[in-house]
Structure 1
Amino acid sequence: MPPGDTGNGRGQPRGGPDEAGPEAGARRRTRSVLRASWWSGRAGALAAWAKAFHAGLETRFPVITRLVDRMLSVNIFDSATRLAAQCFLTAIPLIFVIAAYAPTAVRDQLVGSVSAVFGLSGASKAQLEQAFSPTSNELKQATGVVGGLMVLLSATAVSRAMQRLCKRAWQIPRAGTKIAPWRWVAWIGLWLGVLVMQEPLRKGFGLGAWLGVPLTLVTLTSLWWWTQHLLLGGLIGWRPLLPGAVITAIASTCLSLTAHFYMPRALNRALTEYGSAGSVFVLLSWLIVVCVAVAIGISVGAVLAQEPFLAHRLGTPTSSPGGAVRR
């Protein structure tokens, strides 16, 4: 066969002119991309790479990878949004109940405390005072004792949402871990009592913010410590719950200080431009931010308490009630 003859007698490469050169390679690649097998292979390769990358990170940075895994399992933003929505839906009926039945001194104290928490002034504070203003007997008759009790019972939806968050953070399964319902009511009652005392607490009982800020931090640490223990039904000991309480209290205190600079301006502007609907949006947005901080703080505390360095010092159990092994 003469040189250059590839078998077709015309000097063309075997297989025809359509299968030679860079254009043919491009066409073959295009046909491959259109096949489901090609995409399946690529997805498998990407999944294998992701697993190897995760394993490498877990070896080098075990705490960080466990934190990320816990955040994903808790579903931080979904849990926080649900919790914020429940808080908001609970707050409005409670305002009417308190306005109808609470003594004047309690109403005035609550107005001052809410104003102290958010730093309210101007139109937003005036609207709050109007909501808690003394009411006639018509509102009491419309609300009724039974209606007030139903509002308090429905408020336990917030307790249940917080309980689910704590269980997810500590990887406690739902099956076999029932919690007594009275804990939901007790949690709501204590938080209402603490809310009423926020004004004197933040002012350091008249001595100033230099005492008020540390007192607020200590109070919130105690509250979040007790919250986890109460809503988990004592399934986790006191000491392992302390890191989450401290982290959540620090985050809550920082957000509370930030609220004094943001909330008054935002609420007054929203009331001026959009009316009450604007204030609803601002309050709900701020509640979501606070609940995200709470969800992150409790989850991070749970992971840190299960790390070997702290686990044997805090007495953290190696497995959750129900058999879910903690890493």
Structure 2
Amino acid sequence: MIRRSPAGRGWRRGTDLELFQHALGFAALGFLTLVPLLLIVSSADPQHGRGFAQWLSEGLGVSAASRGQVERLFTPAGQALRTTTAFGIVALAAFGLSFSAAVQSGFEKVWGLPPARWWARWRHVVWLAVLTGYLFASATTLRSHTPTGALIAVAGAILFFWWSQRMLLGGRVRWRALLPGAVATVLGLLGLRVFSQLVFSPLIASNTVSYGPFGTVLVVQSWLIGVGVVVFGGVLVGRLVHEEIVRVALKRRH
């Protein structure tokens, strides 16, 4: 059972502001981490991989015309590995660990937990390594064009977000308490994809005419903010659902 701590109640009173602040940090560090990371992992298997631009287009759910604008922004598959330097890898690792720390901080805020000890930073390394493997699988092998592929992709996403909470929270919250948050996050991401099809896809086309490639970058950054809101908001919804389940169970016992 998760107790209602003062920190947890504070999050709820200022949910909108704090959630948006964490989402902004997620988007900023995510753009510096996820974009180059996905470029590299997509290029690692150029024959079977979809490439980052195609992966991002599918994630955004954009139209064919807008997909062309996204593809013009990024390096074609196979070139990222050849042009990556040692300094670039070091910088990517630094941003990646900062990104991991930002995600962990958001999870701790949601659950009202104190920051983890400094020696627990190894969890950031493990999480970043698993994230890289998950992104590689998403960019090269996981497909969603068939019902079976879609189910595998959804199940894989739920397992990843379920495990991510457990890892970054240092095992301070039980597995069963974390499952509703993982499910809510994946459902939120599916909803964000529908929203992207209706809003972001037309925005890419119109912003490209008005601002050129920079307009597409603005849309991608806005999408990352939405992903951040969904990730932290999903965990928050998961905590509320878990506490409600516990409350109802205790009420039935008495």
Matched to 1:165, the amino acid is G
Q: Distance between the aligned counterparts of 1:225 and 1:252, measured in 2? A: 14
Match for 1:118 among 50, 55, 60?
60
Match for 1:192 among 117, 132, 137?
132
2:114 is the alignment partner of 1:154: no
SS of residue matched to 1:225: helix
2:228 is the alignment partner of 1:286: no
- Report the CA distance between 1:215 and its aligned residue: 3.2
Q: Which residue of 1 aligns with 2:167?
A: 230
2:90 is the alignment partner of 1:128: no
2:105 is the alignment partner of 1:164: yes
| TM-score computed with the length of structure 2 as normaliser | 0.77
Q: Distance between the aligned counterparts of 1:279 and 1:129, measured in 2? A: 10
**Number of aligned pairs?**
239
Q: Distance between the aligned counterparts of 2:125 and 2:68, measured in 1? A: 29
Matched to 1:125, the amino acid is G
Rg (Cα) greater in structure? 1
| TM-score computed with the length of structure 1 as normaliser | 0.62
Q: Distance between the aligned counterparts of 1:130 and 1:276, measured in 2? A: 7
Q: Percent identity?
A: 26
SS of residue matched to 2:172: coil
Q: Which structure is higher in RCO with an 8 Å CA cutoff and minimum separation 6?
A: 2
Q: Distance between the aligned counterparts of 2:220 and 2:117, measured in 1? A: 34
Q: Which residue of 1 aligns with 2:27?
A: 84
SS of residue matched to 2:120: coil
Structure 1, gaps ≥5 residues long: 1-62, 313-327
Matched to 1:185, the amino acid is V
SS of residue matched to 1:236: coil
Q: Deviations over 1:213-256 (max 9, x none)?
A: 43333222211111100111112121111111111121112212
Q: Deviations over 1:249-306 (max 9, x none)?
A: 2111221233234333222222222112111211111221221122221112223323
Which aligned runs of 4 or more in structure 1 are off by greater than 6 angstroms?
none
Q: Which residue of 1 aligns with 2:176?
A: 239
Match for 2:195 among 233, 244, 258?
258
Matched to 1:180, the amino acid is A
Pairing of 1:1-327 with structure 2 (within 5 A): 70-72=11-13, 75-94=18-37, 102-105=44-47, 108-120=50-62, 121-122=64-65, 124-125=67-68, 127-128=70-71, 131-133=74-76, 134-135=78-79, 140=83, 143-174=84-115, 177-178=117-118, 180-198=120-138, 201-204=142-145, 208=146, 210-307=147-244, 308-309=246-247
SS of residue matched to 2:47: helix
- Report the CA distance between 1:106 and its aligned residue: 6.3
Structure 2, gaps ≥5 residues long: none
Q: Distance between the aligned counterparts of 2:41 and 2:57, measured in 1? A: 16
- Report the CA distance between 1:170 and its aligned residue: 0.9
SS of residue matched to 1:155: helix
Preserved CA contact (<8 Å) 1:201 1:212: yes
- Report the CA distance between 1:193 and its aligned residue: 3.1
Q: Distance between the aligned counterparts of 1:72 and 1:105, measured in 2? A: 50
Matched to 1:162, the amino acid is V
